[in-house]
Structure 1
Amino acid sequence: MTVTDWAEEALGLLLGRVGETSEQVGDRFPLYADPADGRWTTTGRGSWAGGFWAGLLWLRAGRAGRDEDRTAAAAVTGRLAPWAEADTATRGLILWYGTAPATEDTAAPALRERAAKAAVGAFDPELGLVPWGSALGGERLRARADGVPGLVPLLASAGPEGREAAAGHLHRHLDLCLPHDGTGRPAPAWRLDRTRGWLAEADPAPGWTRGEAWLLLAVADALLLADALPRAEAASWRVDRLTQAAELLLADCSMLVGPPVPPADARHADGPLDTSAAAITAVALLKLALVPGTAWSTAWSTACAARAEAVLHRLAHDHLTRPGGTRPAGMLLDGCYDAHSGTAVRHELVWGDFFLALGLAALLGRADLRRV
């Protein structure tokens, strides 16, 4: 079976599942689904994952080309609007991935612009980042790996001031999260103590493979963005440092040679897997394969492209449900919502579905990863 054959089949299954999910959740947002029967746990406003549901609907609309699919996607994207001014760094996840695939919607660019301006306004020059925020609960002055992806391109879309904030936000998180001695694993979560400075949090702890995937995705986006910048602005993006960060993540986190589907917690290899971490990593690798040779060697590009295809193949063949069983077809199983609390540790996750669909669409030449 050729790449086109298996990728086409898997994408068809995923997007077919979108229709069934839409009927099941109505005007709510899917979060994770039970592996036994495919029933979704939902949220009313989408939480940090709402944009991935909108993104999935846009991917379906782009493939099918039906007016009713575009209408459904536009309606869900519109329901993300309250998050534009919400105090959360996850507005990048919500409002970048919920609008970037919306190539045929006139309202999505305006919502994205509104969110980008609000995010630039939330940038704290003293801290050098957009704080994690209080919208999802907990302390506001925190920095987390999942507060970087999506927010980098969202900020950068807001002109020179936004691009400066995007570079600062990313590099401040790399300062905190990346190991400084070239060994060990990223520390994905920090909180600010006004007396003692930034302190690493216990949960999520180093070894959270989805956090590592989020960081790699943000770095890949930044490298692609830097290539398109005016020369006068390129210096602030510190391309050499971004390249080193990508190489460090790939090496220290075994993203090119480790298991295609990693455990949710790298410290516990016998624990639950996380297919969503694998799907995010695959998209990040496909983006890195697009980085121009002036910043990224041909050997790295080739290795990233080959590994991304291998990861997507493993997900499609070993973790995606097929027709004829007791479960709905098109479920990407073995995603882990939260290993620490034991919440939904072998489930279908809406963001896992999204990144697998996006990766497959890119592999088939149907999605431009320079803009999504």
Structure 2
Amino acid sequence: MPIDVLETAILESLFANMDRVAEQCGDQYPLFRQASSEQWTLSRRGSWMGGFWAGLWWRRALISGQDQHKEQAQSWSQKLQVWQDEPSINRSFVFWYGSGLGSLLHKDRQAQASVELAVQALLSSFDASSGYWPLGSGMGGGEAGKHILNVDALAPTLLLLDAQGGPVARQFGQWHVDACLRYLQKRSGAWRDTVLLRGQDVLAEQGTETWQRGQAWAMLGMATAARLYDRKSYAQAALQACRYWHERWGKYVQGYLLRDAPAMPVDRSAWAIASLALYELGQILPEQQWLQEQSRLYLDALLTPELSQTGRFVGHLYKVAPGQSELVESACASFFLVETLLAHSA
């Protein structure tokens, strides 16, 4: 099957699968589906992944032009307002993908109003004494979250701030990026996903050189920072992070993604995020042609005939129980696969 035909079939199948998932949801959000199950684990409030479910509907509505898809997006987006006061930077996942895309792609007024409220809440929670947004105590962060710097929500946080505009939002965004570079980036280009800080001292760290999704979040966040703030140092940091990924995992893409290793399943959602990050950075640094080439290779390795038949992207490494992680289907993983597909077909 030619790749362009396969891409179209997969996109159509992913969208059709959304209808089947929605039938199970009722008024709850789909959280994850284990590969061995037909049933989704649902969440009344949507957790940090609820915005991706709304985001998928915003994207689908743009492509289909159908009012029913836009109405679905609006409905799921509005239900996410319960997270406005949640003390967590991971609100950025909820409100950029859940509302920001509605504002950006559809000029939806309710989505725009939601974005404005989210940005005001974000600005008011900035820790000026530290110069960054801590993870926060909400969404499972706990009391220690007030002293944790985490890279995961870097991209959507910057995108929310850019949607608001203004010098304060811009300055806070750059300070946060600078803090991420100071505490999370290593000279090798590897990124820590999380650090626990006391003042300027790092007490503990997680994810360095091993956690693929953390590295992918860093790549996407720094590519976003380079585009929004047009600072050469940000583009170079993004490029270094992408080079690290390529040397650590990327040049083995086919064997790495297809190998059978049930004890250590490969987080395919991380590869979808990394592919999008490489693509976006390649738009900023067109002289770095390898970025686009690698992005395409990662995407091609994720596209399978089975996916075109089922629309189920079982690729998100997720903790389904204490001490138990496995690959599941999630709105987050499907969202980034769709985003990368659309980027390359543009």
TM-score, normalised via structure 1 length: 0.83
Query: Which of 238, 241, 257 is the matching residue for 2:233?
Result: 241
- What is aligned with 2:193? 188
**Structure 1 stretches of 4+ moved >6 Å:** none
- What is aligned with 1:145? 151
In the TM superposition, what is the alpha-carbon distance from 1:113 to its structure 2 partner?
1.3
| Worse-superposed segment, 87-96 or 247-256 | 247-256
Instruction: Report the number of matched residues.
Output: 334
Cα distance in structure 2, aligned partners of 1:80 and 1:269? 35
In the TM superposition, what is the alpha-carbon distance from 1:85 to its structure 2 partner?
2.6
- What is aligned with 1:236? none
Please list, as runs of the form range in 1=range in 2, the aligned pairs for 1:32-111 lying within 5 A after superposition: 32-102=32-102, 103-104=105-106, 105-111=108-114
* 1:250 matches 2:245: no
262 and 348 in structure 1: CA distance in 2 versus 1, 3 angstrom threshold: farther
In the TM superposition, what is the alpha-carbon distance from 1:256 to its structure 2 partner?
4.5
| Partner deviation per Cα, 1:283-310 (whole Å, 9 max, x = no partner) | 111211221xxxx3x331x212222122
| Partner deviation per Cα, 1:251-300 (whole Å, 9 max, x = no partner) | 2222652426968xxxx996111111011111111211221xxxx3x331
In the TM superposition, what is the alpha-carbon distance from 1:149 to its structure 2 partner?
2.3
Return the letter of the residue paired with 1:334.
Answer: G
* 1:135 matches 2:123: no
95 and 28 in structure 1: CA distance in 2 versus 1, 3 angstrom threshold: same
Please list, as runs of the form range in 1=range in 2, the aligned pairs for 1:1-372 lying within 5 A after superposition: 1-102=1-102, 103-104=105-106, 105-137=108-140, 138=142, 139=144, 140-158=146-164, 159-179=166-186, 181-182=187-188, 185-194=190-199, 197-202=201-206, 204=207, 206-227=209-230, 239-254=231-246, 256-259=250-253, 271-291=264-284, 296=285, 298-300=286-288, 302-317=289-304, 321-323=307-309, 329-338=310-319, 342-365=323-346
In 1, are the aligned partners of 2:253 and 2:297 still within 8 Å (CA)? no
SS in 1 for 2:100: coil
Return the letter of the residue paired with 1:220.
Answer: A
In 2, are the aligned partners of 1:281 and 1:308 still within 8 Å (CA)? yes
TM-score, normalised via structure 2 length: 0.89
Return the letter of the residue paired with 2:171.
Answer: E
In 2, are the aligned partners of 1:156 and 1:165 still within 8 Å (CA)? no
| Partner deviation per Cα, 1:236-258 (whole Å, 9 max, x = no partner) | xxx22212211221222226524
249 and 100 in structure 1: CA distance in 2 versus 1, 3 angstrom threshold: same
In 1, are the aligned partners of 2:315 and 2:333 still within 8 Å (CA)? no
Return the letter of the residue paired with 2:218.
Answer: L
Return the letter of the residue paired with 2:196.
Answer: R
What is the identity percentage for the equivalent residue pairs of Structure 1 and Structure 2? 28
Question: What's the C-alpha RMSD, in Å, of the aligned pairs?
Answer: 2.3
SS in 1 for 2:85: coil
| Partner deviation per Cα, 1:208-247 (whole Å, 9 max, x = no partner) | 11011001111111111124xxxxxxxxxxx222122112
Cα distance in structure 2, aligned partners of 1:31 and 1:52? 10
Gaps of 5+ in 2: none
| Worse-superposed segment, 250-259 or 9-18 | 250-259
In the TM superposition, what is the alpha-carbon distance from 1:120 to its structure 2 partner?
1.2
Gaps of 5+ in 1: 228-238, 324-328, 366-372
